[in-house]
Amino acid sequence: PSPGIAAVVAGPLTVSPASLGLGLSLGGLWTGTLTLTANGGPVSAYHLTVPVPLLQDLTLSQASGSLAAGQSVRIKVTAVGSALFSTALLTVSPGSITVPVTYQLLG
């Protein structure tokens, strides 16, 4: 009998938290962390997109990569520009997941 052909199906990508509030760090930068997890199968290529007007204002520690089934990656989001924005919408692919990013102001 001929060997079976294995199909690799990309599992769904989950992102947490669903919305990210950036907090002021000791270094004076606004930072937060997103966690991406491959559930049910590998994700051959993920990518996070920052809105074009905010490319100079937001940096991501790992904007793209791949994940094995069940693997997670933590992505540090840092606001480095001088412009304050109300809400930035990061897009996570595959899945076109939108993550709102705001400043978490302490009262």
pLDDT at residue 1 tops 50: no
Contact 59, 74 (CB under 8 A): no
pLDDT at 7 (0 to 100):
40
Tens of pLDDT, residue by residue over 48-107, are 999 988 888 899 999 999 999 999 999 999 998 666 778 899 999 988 889 999 988 764
53: helix, strand or coil: helix
Which pLDDT belongs to residue 11?
55
Specify whether the CB–CB gap between 19 and 34 falls below 8 A: no
Asked whether the predicted pLDDT for residue 8 surpasses 90, the reply is: no
Q: What is the rounded average pLDDT of the residues 31-39?
A: 93
Torsion angle in degrees (nearest 10) through CA of 100, 45, 39, 21: -20
100 contacts 16 by C-beta, under 8 angstroms: no
Query: What is the pLDDT, as a whole number, of residue 92?
Result: 92
What confidence score (pLDDT) does residue 84 get?
72
The pLDDT of residue 45 is 93
Q: For residue 58, what are the β-bridge partners? A: 79
